[in-house]
Structure 1
């Protein structure tokens, strides 16, 4: 996933609206195409980049230096919103790309947010809790004048979590006495103003976006044209067979564990046949018990080896971590990191439905290839918005002091996810120009954003 790929797709959407979909925004008159191009040019740039080196004294007395970034992409739809990554993969170009995706995701899901993203180049496994806390506080000091509850509202991402958000909230509060602070960060611990269900919301939302498609096809509520009739039949075949729907899941962090548990308790029988992390894949054609594997992973920060599987009384094989991608299964949930399916392995993918819980796990070329082979790809911008949706609920909670139950929050999130999924699936399964679902998600988001730009005077 690169910034160049994202900007290319934004331009492709602009060209499509100008040349093919002339009905959208048709009331803009003779200047319509000029406005569309201007809006595309806005979205291909970023509003602001904040960067610097964070320096802390490590436990051994040495100085640790960590490059850090926050990118504010576009705020026409609302305050900047996006996660903070602690990862050795963090660099400015990646953060810029992810901030663009956040703008599009929030627009697609009708959330009152723009897009932002942040990151620190650090290996969290090589640092103590104290060191990570000092890095977290240094990050807030770098951004102290650029974030806030009515400006830019960060959240957790890869390598961070509720504890990091709590540390950052406390530092922001110390730097801004007598000012509102509780909504500066979302994804906090429940005791510190976080929303119930936030930790598992992205995984549950990812599963919801997938399973709503299965339900809509089986219930006959999704109109499908001839171009997509074969895909519809393949989905019906998967859901109506005697055996449970087989699911392989890449990654086994918060997102993937929650998605696996949703699969296991789904009324339509599912069988989780594989889970993986950066070290290994655990596979059983007969199915895996999710809960003991999740407990082991949370305790040891890894999946069990063969001997430990025997101790847990789990009959399964231990495979290479990459093998999870190419196993024989009905559904593949990608819940790890970007660029996992590329030209190198695209021909080996056996799953019929691929769901992007992570950001950008399928690159652009592989996306087009898999689409041509009849695969159904539910893109990140649609599938993984459960987290930011519940972050929005957390922001409302911090503003109103009205605390909702976990059940109510997750029900509200699922309802919103289903509404957006229905809109996307209807557009996709009735499209006639061979466009991917990702492209159509971008198109729906793009139209909302440039309409707002014109209404607010950014396009004149």
Structure 2
């Protein structure tokens, strides 16, 4: 059954449908039994909860939270928690599916999970935010834990929120369960290098792509959409590698300098002003202008559906490194393929975060912790191996990097299904 990329002539932007399409295409390309796709196309479990929070004025507000657990065939599900007004069930489910593929691709003993709360955290006081965080864990406690489902930070959540969640889970269990959550402060069992892990992984992938394309990093320029944790660290590490970062944008605006931005000063400016907009010596730039900028590397590090049939035709970059989850629509991807742009897909490009989360989980189980240099070296090895697996699949199948990443991820999940006996009467070998 061929995969359709458009419905009634309209571009599909629903992340759940996009994830299903990509998984089906990979299963078809590998000649896998229909049962593999039927298992992977839906999450094992989605739980929606109601979280009452007493506001500072004494009134109560009620927030909706959710958690999707896609598949646990390789190990406990794993994935972040986002606090955002745009959180919805299809988004959370799609993100959990991508986490399954990401873990399989990198070789981690995790399945995919994802959670979120429909809320604008900027509208809550610190006390209200803590109460919401603890309430989320109380409601989900029956289905989460270090051997069931391991949360982590995501959009608008951070180490402090993970600390509150850990404390609440420990109170409910009556003991220390530090491996229940990752991305927490180092003092309570977090891992060195975790804050920079996703951005560092993005840069390692860009370095590997540049090698395959015979490009010298110190002669390249880059633009970054999104200047939160991932975008800012990616920009900083690219800058340290000699790449000229000429433009960045965030929710508040944009900053452009043709001769390259001083990223360290820009990070200080954002910490003081909350946005890159108005950075001294820079010109304003919109997202549309950023995508169309004359540069070598484009890093979308914001939310889903940014590279579309409207923005893709304007891209001049040689490399697109998807630091965000699901930043490209199927039509946008098709256009980039036609333009022969080297795309590092999200499930490969931003897998540094879950990789160091895995390291944190392992360290919690051992009660023994590694130094940051050791964490970074282990991350580099994992990222390079994953990139190499995808690139070898690309060359073997004459496929795009995105298709190749899905072929590797889906193939490994299918191999696990065969090993566990989930699919019967299956004699065919699986190569992944």
Matches within 5 A, 1:210-289: 210-215=206-211, 217=212, 235-236=213-214, 238-239=215-216, 244-266=219-241, 269-289=242-262
Q: Match of 1:193?
A: 189
- Aligned-residue offset at 1:320: 2.3
- Aligned-residue offset at 1:239: 2.9
CA distance in 1, matches of 2:188, 2:291: 38
Post-superposition Cα deviations, 1:355-376, rounded to whole Å, max 9, x if no partner, equal 0000011111110111111111
Post-superposition Cα deviations, 1:390-430, rounded to whole Å, max 9, x if no partner, equal 00110111111111111110111011101111111122144
Q: Does 1:358 align with 2:324?
A: yes
Matches within 5 A, 1:54-69: 54-69=51-66
CA distance in 2, matches of 1:382, 1:336: 16
Q: Match of 1:427?
A: 393
Q: TM-score, normalised by structure 2?
A: 0.92
User: SS of 1:402's equivalent?
Assistant: coil
Q: Does 1:122 align with 2:131?
A: no
User: SS of 2:244's equivalent?
Assistant: strand
Query: Is the 2:254–2:277 contact (alpha carbons within 8 Å) kept by the matching residues of 1?
Result: no
Q: How many residues align?
A: 411
Query: Is the 2:247–2:285 contact (alpha carbons within 8 Å) kept by the matching residues of 1?
Result: no
Post-superposition Cα deviations, 1:180-227, rounded to whole Å, max 9, x if no partner, equal 511110000111110001011000100101111212x3xxxxxxxxxx
Query: Is the 1:81–1:152 contact (alpha carbons within 8 Å) kept by the matching residues of 2?
Result: yes
Post-superposition Cα deviations, 1:222-265, rounded to whole Å, max 9, x if no partner, equal xxxxxxxxxxxxx33x538xx72001011111111111111111
CA distance in 1, matches of 2:408, 2:238: 29
User: SS of 2:130's equivalent?
Assistant: helix
User: SS of 2:307's equivalent?
Assistant: coil
Query: Is the 1:79–1:151 contact (alpha carbons within 8 Å) kept by the matching residues of 2?
Result: yes
Q: Does 1:8 align with 2:29?
A: no
CA distance in 1, matches of 2:356, 2:414: 25
User: SS of 1:333's equivalent?
Assistant: strand
Q: Match of 1:300?
A: 273
Q: 1:411 aligns with which of 348, 372, 377?
A: 377
Q: TM-score, normalised by structure 1?
A: 0.87
CA distance in 2, matches of 1:49, 1:395: 23
Q: Match of 1:224?
A: none
Q: Structure 1: which 4+ aligned runs deviate by more than 6 Å?
A: none
**Cα RMSD, aligned residues only:** 1.4
- Aligned-residue offset at 1:304: 4.1
Q: Match of 1:230?
A: none
Q: 2:103 aligns with which of 106, 113, 128?
A: 106
**Which structure has the larger Rg?**
1
- Aligned-residue offset at 1:295: 1.4
